[in-house]
């Protein structure tokens, strides 16, 4: 299985601390050695860094750890391949354009017997993973139901959750999806999240010998939510999602969730 990471914040924030822990799972504390990627949103634009090498050995990953890019919305992924060969086109995150915005997606899990059901005409995969095909299918269904961006964006995310329920029938489907303003997380079996706000404290990574005192790195008004496959710290209380549960975050705050 792969590992996912995302961040939603109300002010531009770097993800160096969490990313440092995630990178270790790509070959040191975990078996996810088949590539990695990360997308940072800035306004309506986004920048993506990918490498088919293990994150723990990647010079590009070392750059990200050393260069604190600040963003309000970040999505990252480290891959353990099960569908599709190890190559750049099969490396997450995947991005498509819908309603005039870049949508970015990552998936953890494996699907089987899905090809006949997931027919795509406009949003066509570049690689040959089940993950990218599922993303294209979601985008295609969204566009069919909402040719224009709906006034109530919550309705669109509720529809995505229904599509994710369908995809979960083919296997494990943990995913994150973002348009730069919102981040949606859908849990099939493993996803956790934590919201940090004042009063801030210290956090200790599980996968690396690193401690950060967020009280010295933030202002009293900062709100930052981190979502990950498994908790990244061992001295904080993470919210563990249940199978079939979904959440949407905006500027660090919980915006919508399953009932």
Could you list the active site residues? 2
> Long-range contact list for 200-203, CB < 8 A, 24+ apart?
202/235, 203/17, 203/233, 203/235, 203/236
Token digits for 220? 């009293």
Q: How far is CA 145 from the centre of its chain?
A: 24
- Residue whose C-alpha is closest to residue 184's, from 154, 224, 157: 157
Backbone angles phi, psi at 228, to 5 degrees: -150, 160
- DSSP β-bridge partners for residue 187: none
- DSSP β-bridge partners for residue 185: 176, 247
Question: Is there a cis peptide before residue 199, judged by omega within 30 degrees of 0?
Answer: yes
């Amino acid at each position: 299985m792969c590992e996912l990471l995302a961040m939603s914040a109300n002010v531009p924030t770097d993800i160096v601390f969490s990313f440092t822990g995630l990178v270790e799972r790509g070959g040191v504390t975990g078996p996810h050695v088949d590539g990695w990627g990360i997308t940072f949103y800035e306004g309506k634009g986004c920048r993506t860094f990918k490498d088919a090498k293990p994150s723990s050995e990647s010079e590009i990953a070392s750059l990200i750890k050393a260069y604190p890019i600040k963003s309000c919305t970040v999505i990252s992924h480290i891959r353990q391949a099960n569908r599709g060969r190890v190559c750049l086109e099969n490396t997450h995150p995947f991005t498509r354009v819908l309603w005039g915005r870049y949508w970015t997606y990552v998936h953890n899990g494996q699907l089987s017997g899905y090809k006949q059901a997931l027919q795509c005409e406009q949003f066509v995969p570049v690689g040959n993973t089940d993950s990218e095909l599922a993303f294209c299918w979601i985008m295609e269904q969204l566009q069919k139901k909402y040719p224009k961006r709906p006034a109530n964006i919550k309705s669109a995310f509720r529809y995505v959750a229904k599509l994710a329920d369908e995809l979960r029938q083919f296997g494990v489907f943990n995913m994150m999806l973002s348009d730069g303003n919102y981040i949606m997380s859908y849990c099939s079996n493993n996803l956790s999240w934590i919201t940090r706000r004042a009063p801030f404290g210290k956090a200790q990574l599980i996968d690396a010998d690193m401690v950060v005192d967020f009280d010295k790195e933030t202002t009293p008004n900062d709100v930052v939510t981190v979502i990950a496959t498994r908790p990244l710290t061992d001295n904080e209380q993470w919210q563990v999602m249940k199978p079939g549960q979904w959440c949407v975050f905006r500027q660090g705050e919980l915006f919508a969730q399953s009932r």
